[in-house]
Amino acid sequence: MNDPMENSGDYSRTEPLVLSVPDTCSGRRLDQVLAELLPQHSRNRLQGWVRDSLVRIDGQVETEPKRKLHGGEQLSLAEPPDAQVLAEQPEDIPLDIVYEDECLLVINKPPGLVVHPGSGNWSGTLMNALLHHIPGIAEVPRAGIVHRLDKDTSGLMVVAKTLEAQTDLVRQLQARSVRRVYLALVAGTVKADGGVDSPIGRHPVQRTKMAVVPESRGGKPALTWYRILAYYPHCTYVECSLATGRTHQIRVHMASIGHPLVGDPVYGKPHARLPEFHRQALHATRLGLLHPLSGRLMQWEAPPPADMRELLERLEYA
C-alpha cells in the first residue's frame, strides 16, 4: 500500500494520490477509510473533497462520503492546493485606487470582493490582489490590511504598505480617530436622526451572526450615528458614521431598531414592499485619517457604485 504520508505537504504535484484500501477496511465508509489513510487531513475536509468529485474508486468518481467499501479497491485523490498556499498567491485582480504613496494605499472596493482569505474564499481576494500590486507588502502582516468591509459592502478602505504605517493606523483605529462614513438604504421610515449605542457580540445561538449582546455576556461597546438623507417608498436613505468598528456594526444596529438594510440576507427579512436588491445596500463613502508620516489630516470620498445608484434611481421614479 502507498504511504499516505508520502506526499503530505507537496501540493505541486499534478498526478493524483493513489491509495489501496486494506482488506481490513471491508464494510467501512469511504470517509472513515480516507481519514485513517490520510490522518494529516480532517474528516470534514476529506468529506468535502469527496462531494467535490475529487475522489475516484477504481477509476469511477464517487461523491458520497458514506459509500461502503469492500477492501482491495484503489482510491485516487486529486488533492486540491493547500488553502494557505492559495491565500498567499499574488493575483492580477484590478484595483480601483483612489490614493497611493510610499506608505498608504486607499482603494474603492467593489461589491462582491472578499477582503481576506477564509473558509470558502481562499483565492480571488483583496489580499491576493495586494500581493500582486505591491510585491513587498508580503512582509507586512495581513498584507497591510488594517480593517475590513464585508464581501458585499462596497467602498473605501485603507491599506498600509509598511509595518510602521500599519502600526500607526491600527493605533488610530483603536483611538477611534479614523473617520468612516457610510451610505445605507434601510427598510421603513426612519423618523429622525439619531444613534444606536448598543454592545455587539457573537449571536448566542446562530454563531455565524452578530447581535446586540450585553457586555456582561461578551458584547463589546458599539456606537453608530445616523442621519436621514432622503425618503423613498417604504425605505429611508441614511448616512451612518461609525464611532467604533465592530463586525457587521451598521447592519446589526439598524436591524436592532427595526430598520434593517435593504437586501441584507442575514439581518433583514424579505418584504414584498421593499425594492429587490442582490446585496446589502451599504457603501463606505468617506474615509478620513492622519497620514502616518506627515501627520496631516487626509480625507477621501467615493460615490456609490453603479448597482446602488441604479437602485436609488428606480426608487426616485417609483
**Which are the catalytic amino acids?**
150
Q: Quote the cell numbers at residue 114.
A: 472578499
According to DSSP, the residues that pair with 300 across neighbouring strands are 287
Q: What's 258's DSSP letter?
A: T
Q: What's 140's DSSP letter?
A: S
Angle, alpha carbons 128-133-136 (nearest 5°): 90
Q: How many CB atoms lie within 10 A of CB 111?
A: 22
Identify which of 40, 306, 300, 314 has the alpha carbon closest to the alpha carbon of residue 158: 300
Strand boundaries in 45-153, DSSP class E: 55-57, 60-61, 74-77, 97-100, 104-109
Q: What's 68's DSSP letter?
A: B
According to DSSP, the residues that pair with 57 across neighbouring strands are 60, 75
Q: Quote the cell numbers at residue 98.
A: 483612489
Report the C-alpha gap between 317 and 202 in whole angstroms: 39
Q: What's 260's DSSP letter?
A: P
Q: How many CA atoms lie within 13 A of 12 on its CB side?
A: 0
Identify which of 232, 233, 235, 249 has the alpha carbon closest to the alpha carbon of residue 284: 249
Amino acid, res. 218: G
Q: How many CB atoms lie within 10 A of CB 116?
A: 14
Q: Determine the longest span between alpha carbons in the chain, in angstroms.
A: 73
Question: What's the sign of the alpha-carbon dihedral 25, 28, 32, 34?
Answer: positive
